[in-house]
Amino acid sequence: MKKQNIFLKNKKFTVYLILAFGIILTAVFAPQIATHDPGEAILTEALQAPGDGHLFGTDKLGRDLFSRVIYGTRASLLATFALVGSIFLIGSVIGILAGYFGGWLDAVIMRIADMMVAFPGMVLALAVAGILGPSITNAVIAVGLVSWPKYARMARSLVLKIKYEDYVAAAKVTGSKTRHILARYMIPSVLPTLVITASTDIGGMMLELAGLSFLGFGARPPIPEWGLMLSEGRSYMQNAPWVMIFPGLAILLVVVVFNLLGDSLRDVLDPKEEG
């Protein structure tokens, strides 16, 4: 009943959650939704305009654009969720440990985080991706290396707020082990804020990965990834604009939905925002 009340009281959150779930289902059931093989190239049908045979038209190799956009949902979401999940986990753990134990561990972690923040994020990600080589996995690693300090610094600051509270001191006095204090007090205190941050970062991280693919540092052909599809279609923007329009609209739709979902999730998890 409680869960039902949450959904009923937060109608915007429910709507955006349904839309996000629909996008995820599109990625899961891409083979059933797609009308053609996304990798099948028919050169005689290259750059056909949207019509009955090809709902979104075809690209320069005659591949069905609708099917590639649908399969692109799987590639883009998988990479984005892997990126957000990894930086959320790594940054949160590092930040909690730095804030709770302090001392030299805190100093070392925060100096590394400050050093990473000092560089422009996208520029550093491009440099790392260039060193590792172009692939969707390396793009995730590159963006992840420059994004984890945000979560580490946030988790550390939240831990420092409650580290010296009376109930934490009482737990130490009564002989509670460190792992119990971390699991019982620290993690539950920082988790809501970090979850909200992660949900609002999904759209931004997707744009960064698509940007790397667009510049040639991310997904490689013939993977149907939206950033790569934009890069492949930019040469035909004037005589075949649909090659760029539909992947661009897909990125826009997914980014807007997950950004709105993150904003509405803040209203659900943060009583101050809800008030």
What are the tokens at 143? 């963006």
Closest alpha carbon to 258 in 210, 198, 209, 215: 198
Q: What's the pLDDT at 273?
A: 45
Q: What's the pLDDT at 5?
A: 66
Q: What's the pLDDT at 265?
A: 86
**Using an 8 Å Cβ cutoff, are 96 and 186 in contact?**
yes
Cα separation, 66 vs 177, whole angstroms = 56
Q: What's the pLDDT at 270?
A: 65
Cα-to-chain-centroid distance, residue 227: 14
Q: Quick one: average pLDDT of 27-44?
A: 91
pLDDT band of residue 274 (cuts 50, 70, 90) is very low
Look at residue 94 and tell me whether its pLDDT is greater than 90. Answer: yes
198-237 pLDDT tens trace: 988 999 999 999 999 999 898 888 889 999 999 988 888 8
Domains and their CATH numbers in the chain: 2-274 (1.10.3720.10)
114-144 pLDDT tens trace: 888 887 888 888 888 889 888 999 999 999 9
SS3 content of the chain, % helix, strand, coil (to 5): 75, 0, 20
pTM of this prediction?
A: 0.87
